[in-house]
Every structure is written in structure tokens, then in C-alpha cells.
């Protein structure tokens, strides 16, 4: 198993990059988010990798972070989500955005990705809701009480604002999201905050 590549970028294209290590060029499927982090051709880069072996092909997928790699593994463990669909999802959403979308049950965020319909998006949320919490994924901005709405651009505006207000009160998204699973996104910000604090108090 190839865990990572550390070498020279010799070619990039839409959703792929070729990293040369020891004279061998390894073509990796990559997300658009990872592609944006790569340097120019001829410069060195490091990618975490995951190999997928099928009857008709062997594919190497590359990721800029272990969070992105772990999200990819979780996504491809779901029936109906292959490597290309997982790459498409992680091209639209960063790991922390995916984690928050799943926690908030925001299927519309997932349907932004090519090949993801509403039924598949709902299945992804259902199957990942418990698993993704264990990864402890959170953006630097949200973990430090920053702009949560920036991390979850298409989530309910009221829920995003409530998360931001709770962050100011000292609660991290990881602490409050488990209590917001049944929150009605049409509730006011004040109602969401009050309901969440009541739920936390009952724990």
C-alpha cells in the first residue's frame, strides 16, 4: 500500500496530478481543493494516497490532508459512491464543510457535486452522521469561534448564525452539533440557541 508520495509535480489536469518519485511518475486522482494547493510543475509536493483496486483497474487517489483522505474513505464505503463521486463531493466541499453538512443534515450542499442526487445525498448523511463525528474534523475558523457561515456556505443561515453565537459563548461546533440534529432550520436564531442550550443542560 502506498501511503504517501513526496516528489516533483510534473503534470496536472482536471482532477488529476502526476508526482514523480525516484524517476517514476504516479498519476493520482485528486480533488479540486487538493489541486489548488499544489505548486507549479517542477516544484516538490507531498500527497497522502489511497489505492483502489478493481477487477478492471487500479487507481491511486491523492489528498492534501489526512482529513480529506479519511473523508474519501468514508464516502467510498457507502453503496453507490465510487471514487469519482467521492472526488466530486470533496471538490465542492472541504472536509470540515462536509462534516458540518452531514451534522446539519444539509443534503442540498451535497447535491452541488456532480453525480449526487437528492436520494444519494440523504443516504450519505444517514450513513455518515455518526461516523464523521469520530474524525474530529473542524475548520480552524470554527474551532476558534470564527465565521461558521463561511465554513458552511449553503447551510441554513439561521443555524450558521446560531453556531457562530454559541462559539462566542465558548462552545465549539463539536460540542453543540450533536444537540442540533433535530433542529428546524426555519426556527429563529434565538430559538435555535435556546433549544440547543436547553439540550446541553439536560445532558
Domain covering 4-63: architecture: Beta Barrel (2.40)
Q: Percentage of the chain with pLDDT > 70?
A: 85
- On average, the pLDDT of the chain sits at 84
Question: How far does CA 200 lie from the centroid of its chain?
Answer: 26
Task: Identify the band that residue 69 occupies on the pLDDT scale cut at 50, 70 and 90.
Answer: very high
Position of cell 447551510? Answer: 155
Query: 29 in helix, strand or coil?
Result: strand
CATH for 66-135, among 1.10.150.20, 3.40.50.11540, 1.10.10.10, 3.40.50.300? Answer: 1.10.150.20
Q: Do domains 4-63 and 66-135 have the same CATH topology?
A: no
Residue percentage of the chain with pLDDT more than 90 = 49
Locate cell 445532558: which residue?
Answer: 203
For range 138-167, the mean pLDDT: 57
Per-residue pLDDT of 7-50, as tens digits, reads: 999 999 989 999 999 999 999 999 999 999 999 999 999 999 99
| Pairwise CA distance, residues 48 & 65, whole Å | 7
Tell me which range, 31-40, 161-170, 185-194, is most confidently predicted by mean pLDDT.
31-40
Residue 152 has pLDDT above 60, yes or no: no
DSSP annotation string for 116-183: --HHHHHHHHHHHTTTGGGGT---HHHHTT--HHHHSTTS-HHHHHHHHHHHHTT--HHHHGGG-TT-
**Domain ranges within the chain, ordered by starting residue:** 4-63, 66-135, 140-202
Mean pLDDT lowest among 68-77, 109-118, 134-143, 154-163: 134-143
What would the mean pLDDT of 159-179 be, rounded to a whole number? 77
Predicted TM-score (pTM) of the model is 0.70
pLDDT, tens digit, 9 for 90 and up, residues 71-126: 999 999 999 999 999 999 999 998 888 888 887 788 888 999 999 999 999 999 99
Amino acid at each position: 500500500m502506498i501511503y504517501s508520495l513526496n516528489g516533483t509535480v510534473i503534470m496536472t489536469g482536471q482532477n488529476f496530478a502526476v508526482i514523480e518519485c525516484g524517476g517514476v511518475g504516479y498519476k493520482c486522482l485528486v480533488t479540486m481543493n487538493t489541486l489548488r494547493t499544489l505548486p507549479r510543475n517542477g516544484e516538490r509536493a507531498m500527497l497522502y494516497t489511497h489505492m483502489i483496486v478493481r477487477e478492471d483497474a487500479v487507481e491511486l487517489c491523492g489528498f492534501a490532508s489526512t482529513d480529506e483522505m479519511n473523508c474519501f474513505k468514508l464516502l467510498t464505503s457507502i453503496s453507490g459512491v465510487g471514487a469519482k463521486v467521492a472526488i466530486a463531493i470533496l471538490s465542492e466541499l472541504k472536509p470540515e464543510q462536509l462534516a458540518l453538512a452531514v451534522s446539519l443534515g444539509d443534503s442540498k450542499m451535497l447535491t452541488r457535486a456532480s453525480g449526487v442526487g437528492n436520494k444519494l445525498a440523504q443516504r450519505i448523511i444517514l450513513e455518515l452522521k455518526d461516523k464523521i463525528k469520530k474524525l474530529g474534523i473542524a475548520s480552524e475558523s470554527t474551532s476558534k469561534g470564527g465565521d461558521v457561515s463561511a465554513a458552511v456556505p449553503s447551510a441554513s443561515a439561521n443555524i450558521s448564525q446560531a453556531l457562530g453565537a454559541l462559539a462566542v459563548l465558548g462552545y465549539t461546533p463539536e460540542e453543540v452539533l450533536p444537540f442540533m440534529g433535530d433542529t428546524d432550520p426555519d426556527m429563529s436564531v434565538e430559538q435555535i440557541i435556546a433549544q440547543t442550550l436547553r439540550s446541553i443542560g439536560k445532558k
